[in-house]
Amino acid sequence: MAKAVQQTETLLMPKATSVWLIENTALTFKQIADFTNITEIEVEALANEEIGKGLVGRDPVEHGELTKSELERCEADFSASLKIAKRSLPSVKARAKGPRYTPVSKRGDKPDAIAYIIKNNAEISDAQICKLVGTTKPTITSIRDRSHANMANLKPRHPAELGLCTYQEFEIAYNKGLKAAGKDPEAVKAELEAKQKAELDASQDTASNSGSSGGFDFSNFMPDTSSSSTSDLREEDVFK
């Protein structure tokens, strides 16, 4: 006999539901977290308005996600867990993540971004580049082997500067690539900062040395005091 597949109900707006339960019930943070499927820390942060400030609460009873009797049962017993009410409507399915959408005006910048990553961040895998830039592996391959149709005109530019991803997303992908290569992201970052500081100090030393070694000679523009004093004496002799 085939085993029945158990369907898991999910809330449509878990954080908004959490806000409503915090404001209108005596449930514990743990009970709310278990029901909404978010962490207890997040529930506490919502209660303290550290996150979700201004978020409007959503009544799960009114929207058929929770019965009033179930709510009262769990308010009377803090060890009890709320159960989502069974609904006749099918549960909401999250849309599978596809390629990152890129505005038409930015699509021409993708090859430049790919060229930048290949040149400066070899640790980032092709799969991660696809997610960051919203491109395909064949496009990445064509830039790697320099067979891209517009290869001669490519200008490597940071994808975050082009608006294709955020700096945070880029850093996450970079750190993930370093870890995959067996490197410690923090150690690599510290080494890079030390190298940059050493280069900056060296350039400052060079600038200070060149400034002290030479200067503009103003002697050619100074009046000749010796000749002027001689002429003054001659004038005195004439008028004696």
Give the span between the Cα atoms of 178 and 33, in whole angstroms. 34
- Answer whether 113's CB lies under 8 Å from 164's CB: yes
How many angstroms separate the Cα of 80 from the Cα of each of 15, 73, 121, 225, 233? 20, 8, 51, 104, 115
Within 8 A by CB and 6+ apart from 139, the residues are: 110, 111, 114, 148
- Answer whether 19's CB lies under 8 Å from 56's CB: yes
Model pLDDT, residue 108: 82
Task: Tell me the angle at which helices 40-47 and 14-24 cross, rounded to the nearest 10 degrees.
Answer: 60
CB-facing half-sphere around the CA of 114: CA atoms within 13 A = 28
- Answer whether 178's CB lies under 8 Å from 188's CB: yes
**If you write DSSP's letter for every residue of 7-63 in order, what string do you get?**
PPP--SSHHHHHHHHHHH----HHHHHHHHTS-HHHHHHHHTTSSSTTPPP--TTTT
Within 8 A by CB and 6+ apart from 95, the residues are: none
The tens-digit pLDDT sequence of the chain (240 residues) is 333 333 356 788 999 999 999 989 989 999 999 999 999 888 988 888 888 877 888 999 998 899 999 999 999 999 999 999 876 555 555 554 555 555 555 678 899 999 999 999 888 999 899 888 888 899 999 999 999 999 999 999 999 888 888 888 898 988 888 888 888 888 888 887 888 888 888 888 777 776 555 555 555 555 655 544 444 545 555 444
Give the span between the Cα atoms of 191 and 195, in whole angstroms. 6
Q: Is 115 helix (H, G, I), strand (E, B) or coil?
A: helix
